[in-house]
């Protein structure tokens, strides 16, 4: 089921801090890599004596810049992995609730709903509660 633009906007807003941090780290890594490729690898010919001297002379400095860029990329990867794991866990809990609701004991249902709600945004949780209340009212009428 495709998400609406509103749901996508709410999800992005909920992840604002993570997205902002990853964007900052990515910008920094890109600037460093641009510096390395343009000012180190792209500027001097390693086949010339002057170029090879420069490359050897500046090797340590640019190696550290490469390490810094790599650190930023690892931070981004770690954050994306954590967000993916969280999204996957919430998705599995939603699937469990959908597929196994009829087979669950009341305690299992409560536990699955708590896990589901923890991963939701405010609007999504409100919709779930509204639906559950309606279902309860309808079952009382029956």
DSSP assignment of 7-40: HHHHHHHHTHHHHHHHHHHHHHHHHHHHHIIIII
What is the spatial distance between Cα 68 and Cα 52, in angstroms, rounded to a whole number? Answer: 24
How high does pLDDT run on average in the chain?
Answer: 78
Phi, psi of 21, rounded to the nearest 5 degrees? -65, -45
Q: pLDDT (tens digit, 9 = 90+) per residue, 16-32? A: 888 888 899 999 999 99
Band of pLDDT at residue 1, cut at 50, 70 and 90: very low
d(CA 108, CA 97): 10
Examine the pLDDT at 51 and tell me if it is beyond 90. Answer: no
For 33-50, write each residue's pLDDT tens digit.
999 888 888 887 878 888
**Residue 73's Cα: distance from chain center in Å?**
13
pLDDT of residue 104: 64
**Size of the chain in residues:** 142
Rounded Cα distance between 103 and 54, Å, is 71
135, 113 contact by CB (below 8 A): no
Interaxial angle between packed helices 106-118 and 122-141, expressed in degrees from 0 to 180 and rounded to the nearest 10 = 150
Q: What is the pLDDT of residues 58-105, one digit of tens each?
A: 889 999 999 999 999 999 998 888 888 887 777 777 676 666 666 666
Specify the pTM: 0.54
Ordered by start, the domain boundaries in the chain are 17-141
The single-letter DSSP state of residue 41 is I
Residues sharing a CB contact under 8 Å with residue 11, sequence separation 6 or more, in sequence order: 3, 121
**Per-residue pLDDT, 69:** 92
């Amino acid at each position: 089921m495709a998400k609406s633009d509103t749901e996508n906007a709410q999800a992005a807003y909920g992840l604002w801090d993570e997205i902002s941090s990853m964007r900052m780290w990515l910008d920094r890594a890109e600037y460093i890599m641009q510096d390395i490729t343009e000012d180190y690898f792209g500027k001097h010919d390693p086949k010339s004596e002057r170029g090879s001297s420069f490359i050897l002379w500046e090797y340590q400095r640019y190696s550290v810049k490469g390490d810094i860029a790599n650190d930023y990329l690892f931070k981004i990867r770690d954050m994306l992995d954590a967000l993916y794991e969280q999204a996957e866990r919430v998705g599995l809990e939603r699937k469990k609730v959908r597929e196994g609701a009829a087979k669950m004991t009341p305690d299992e249902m409560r536990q699955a709903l708590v896990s589901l709600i923890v991963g939701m945004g405010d609007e999504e949780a409100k919709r779930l509660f509204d639906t559950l209340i309606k279902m309860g009212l309808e079952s009382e009428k029956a």
